[in-house]
Amino acid sequence: MNFLEEKILEDGKIYEGNVLKVDNFLNHQIDIDIMRQIAYEFKRRFKGKPVTKVLTIEASGIAIATMLADLYDVPVVFAKKGITVNSTDDKYMSQAYSFTHKHMNNVFVSRPYLSSGDKVLIVDDFLADGEAAKALIDIVNQAGGTVTGIGVAIEKGVQNGGKKLREAGYHLESIAIIDEMDYKTQTIKFRQ
């Protein structure tokens, strides 16, 4: 069991409807030791791969992206999201359905911040249906950049996002993959 799986078992809480709450260390309160270790683990797993930008989406991906960009000494770009967007003249735009908020979000990055020379490492705290990752990949492609890899802290293996990304040939690294979780017994089965 790795450090993140152990932390999830210690501090995560399972709620009805396949919901895992880890906001005491990952996405509301942030455990800085865990965050640092996540960054080092991504750096190890993507060793040798070129990275010129770390890309994430606001808000909870920003802490991981910042720690990782600090190791690579490259800029972070965080995509913004919003229901309405005034103009796309100056931005790359894609869309991602939010299962939490039950509506389509526009996801966008200002054009100057991604370009055709960029080798982009996409990171996020969670991967479930892969909507956010898909939108970020789309944006990198619009900019003519290359997706070096995708790093997520926690993948919900029951949902299809990870499977689709792997099948599409992306180098996806998830530090903890949850294959089963049971609300009644508060148990979690991680993928080996």
Which residue ranges make up the site for a copy of itself (CB under 8 A)?
23-24, 28-33, 35-36, 58-59, 62-63, 65-67, 69-70, 73-78, 80, 109-110, 112-113
Phi, psi of 87 (to 5 degrees): -155, 150
Q: Provide the minimum distance between the beta carbon of 75 and a copy of itself in the complex, in angstroms, as a whole number.
A: 5
Calculate the alpha carbon distances from 186 to 16, 180, 181, 191 in Å: 10, 11, 7, 17
> Which residue's CB is nearer to a copy of itself, number 6 or number 182?
6
Q: Provide the minimum distance between the beta carbon of 188 and a copy of itself in the complex, in angstroms, as a whole number.
A: 21
Q: Provide the minimum distance between the beta carbon of 78 and a copy of itself in the complex, in angstroms, as a whole number.
A: 7
DSSP symbol at 52: S
Calculate the alpha carbon distances from 163 to 97, 127, 129, 159, 166 in Å: 18, 11, 9, 8, 5
> Which residue's CB is nearer to a copy of itself, number 2 or number 115?
115
Q: Provide the minimum distance between the beta carbon of 23 and a copy of itself in the complex, in angstroms, as a whole number.
A: 7
Look at residues 137, 138, 134, 179 and name the one whose alpha carbon lies nearest to residue 155.
Answer: 179
> Which residue's CB is nearer to a copy of itself, number 101 or number 169?
101
